[in-house]
Amino acid sequence: MSWVGDNSALIWEQLREHLYLALIPMVLGLLISLPLGYVATRFSWLANPLVALGGVLYSLPSIALFIVLPAILGTQILSPVNIIVALTIYAVSLLIRNVIDGLRSVPEEVLQAAVSVGYGTLRRVLTVDLPIAIPVIFTGLRVVTVANISMVSVGAIIGIGGFGELFTTGFQQDFLTPIVVGVVLSLALALVCDIALVGLQRLLTPWARVISPLKEATT
Amino acid sequence: MIQGFFDFLGDPVNWRGAEGIPTRLVEHLAFTFVSLLIAAVIAFPIGLLIGHTRRGAFIAINTVNAWRALPTLGLLTLIVLLIGIGQVPVIIALVVLGIPPILASTYAGVSGVDRNTIDAARGMGMTGREILTKVEIPIALPLIISGLRSATLQIVSTATVAAYVALGGLGRYVIDGLGVRDFPQMLVGAVLVALLAIVLDLAFALLGRYAVSAGLTGRLRKNVNTSTAPAPAGAN
């Protein structure tokens, strides 16, 4: 424990790095997959190829992607951009399926009702379709967030990895403490972010807390 | 850089001997299959037991959640520091990472079998064992294969990272290349591992298509919806 005290400044810095490396891709992934998923529900022939492509991209090992991306993007190999782009690719690959499933789960009567009371397309999508799709989208978002938090550590091999640097330090110094601290902090961070997302989902879907016929129809 | 990548691939030296691409590929496959086999031998019976008895579901669900959050590099370095450098500690780490997806998907597949189907099987006079082997496992097979696929991709990926703690396989190019700032060599390792992951992913997709009973998928019938696509596996 004294090791943690002595290195608290370092650990805070790694926490900050770990959080932005994991959370920026999550937000970017959501911002990309929402419009993409909407387009795929409008032009349904796009849905299967997109989900299949996502499946292939998601199967790529993270360390491989961290190294191939600089060759494609022209970035430095030690640039955090590679990690952020790689994790964004994973986020989109996984979220696209949930966004499509979520938007498709909106009952047809609800859409018709929205149109008949005069909602335009944009307003309907943002205020009707999207909120109803939230539970399904959040299921994917939680998986993405937890997986990203664990994958950031792999970046430590190429020098940028938040808590992952505790693993490389511990390994090089043959010293167990930083590794144990890193594993515990990484798991704790994943847990905290997951709980935060569950809380956010509850805030965004107040209707789910009361028993409603809508919920029964969408589940 | 791209030129260097092709120079590396074109150099016959890199296709021979203990550090050649064929040797590294075989090593990588060997580590993957040994770890997958051990993981399956451990996880499959437990998954069947939990799924069949429908008890202890919370274990299956929580292990897979914790698995997703577990930093693989942390697990690798931890086990190697505790046990020592060598192949055995790394394989232990790979097995640990392979168990949860197989266990959870086996459990989910078996416990997801419709109660009415099981009642019908029992009504026909099947014993518990017969219900498991002739009804529950065949119906659960798509999910079981999807779990094996997740485990395989996780292991392939982590075996690459394991080159950092001294393991052979394709990850050597990545780690050795990094050590001497030889970027083309790293790129070769990364591209080969990515190709290996894609090939194995496709192999499991094919396996899922042909190993599952035609009576379930309707593969041999016409005009039947065959949507048994498993959830995407991998990313690690």
Banded model confidence at residue A214, pLDDT cuts 50, 70, 90: low
User: Is pLDDT above 80 for A217?
Assistant: no
Question: What pLDDT is attached to residue A143?
Answer: 93
In terms of CA atoms, which chain B residue is nearest residue A175? B81
A135-161 burial string, b = 16+ CB within 10 Å, else e?
A: bbbbbbbbbbbbbbbbbbbbbbbbebb
Query: Which chain B positions have a beta carbon within 8 Å of A151's beta carbon?
Result: 235-236
Q: Average pLDDT for consecutive 10-residue bins of chain B (236 residues)?
A: 85 86 94 97 94 82 82 94 90 94 92 92 93 92 94 95 90 92 92 95 90 73 48 58
Question: Which positions ≥6 away from B91 have C-beta within 8 Å?
Answer: B31, B34, B35, B38
Q: How far is A187 from chain B (nearest CA, A)?
A: 6
Token look-up 């989208």 returns A137
Per-residue model confidence as pLDDT tens digits over A141-176: 999 999 999 999 999 998 888 999 999 999 999 999
Are B75 and A153 within 8 A, CB to CB?
no
Query: Which chain B positions have a beta carbon within 8 Å of A158's beta carbon?
Result: 178
Are A97 and B232 within 8 A, CB to CB?
yes
Q: Sign of the CA dihedral A137, A143, A146, A148?
A: negative
Question: What pLDDT is attached to residue B226?
Answer: 43
* Single pTM value for the model: 0.88
Question: What pLDDT is attached to residue B86?
Answer: 86
Query: Which chain A positions have a beta carbon within 8 Å of B233's beta carbon?
Result: 55, 58-59
Is B15 inside a domain boundary? no
Q: What is the rounded average pLDDT of the residues A87-106?
A: 95
Is B198 inside a domain boundary? yes
Query: Do B94 and B37 touch, CB atoms closer than 8 A?
Result: no
Question: What pLDDT is attached to residue B16?
Answer: 85
ipTM of the complex as predicted: 0.87
In degrees and rounded to multiples of 5, residue B3 shows phi and psi of: -60, -45
Is B223 inside a domain boundary? no
Which residue among A94, A163, A174 places its CB closest to the CB of B232?
A: A94
Average pLDDT, chain A: 91
Question: What pLDDT is attached to residue A5?
Answer: 85
Q: How many domains does chain B have?
A: 1
Are B236 and A61 within 8 A, CB to CB?
yes
So where are chain A's domains? 2-218
A20 touches chain B (CB under 8 A): no
Q: What CATH number is given to the structural domain containing B146?
A: 1.10.3720.10
Distances (CA, A) of A194 to A138, A145, B12: 10, 7, 50
Token look-up 């009576």 returns B215
Question: What pLDDT is attached to residue B75?
Answer: 94
Angle in degrees, CA A152, B77, B92, rounded to 5: 110
| Domain hosting residue B51, numbered range | 20-216
Q: What is the rounded average pLDDT of the residues A184-204?
A: 94
Query: Do B140 and B110 touch, CB atoms closer than 8 A?
Result: yes
Question: What pLDDT is attached to residue B119?
Answer: 93
Query: Do A164 and A153 touch, CB atoms closer than 8 A?
Result: yes
Distances (CA, A) of A60 to A51, A120, A148, B155, B160: 15, 40, 14, 12, 12
Q: Quick one: DSSP state of residue B13?
A: G
Helix axes B171-179, B21-53, angle to 10 degrees: 130
Count CA atoms closer than 13 A to A81's CA, side-chain side.
11
SS (H, E, C) chain A: CHHHHHCHHHHHHHHHHHHHHHHHHHHHHHHHHHHHHHHHHHCHHHHHHHHHHHHHHHCCCHHHHHHHHHHHHCCCCCCHHHHHHHHHHHHHHHHHHHHHHHHHCCCHHHHHHHHHCCCCHHHHHHHHHHHHHHHHHHHHHHHHHHHHHHHHHHHHHHCCCCCHHHHHHHHHHCCHHHHHHHHHHHHHHHHHHHHHHHHHHHHHCHHHHCCCHHHHHHC
Query: Which chain A positions have a beta carbon within 8 Å of B235's beta carbon?
Result: 58-60, 62, 90, 93-94, 147, 151
Query: Do B70 and B98 touch, CB atoms closer than 8 A?
Result: no
Report d(CA B101, CA B85) in Å as an integer: 26
Query: Which chain A positions have a beta carbon within 8 Å of B77's beta carbon?
Result: 167-168, 170-171, 179
User: Could you give the 3-state DSSP secondary structure of residue B55?
Assistant: coil
CATH fold of A2-218: MetI-like fold (1.10.3720)
Which residue among B74, B78, B190 places its CB closest to the CB of A67?
A: B190
Question: Which positions ≥6 away from B133 have C-beta within 8 Å?
Answer: none
Question: Which positions ≥6 away from A187 have C-beta within 8 Å?
Answer: B66, B69, B70
Question: What pLDDT is attached to residue B229?
Answer: 44
Closest Cα partner for A22 from A207, A173, A196, A172? Answer: A196
Question: What pLDDT is attached to residue B210?
Answer: 84
A178 touches chain B (CB under 8 A): no
Quick count: other Cβ atoms within 10 Å of Cβ A201? 17
Are B68 and A176 within 8 A, CB to CB?
no
Question: What pLDDT is attached to residue A218?
Answer: 53
Q: For an interface test with B, give the residue of A50, A57, A59 to mutate (most B CBs within 10 A).
A: A59
A85 touches chain B (CB under 8 A): no
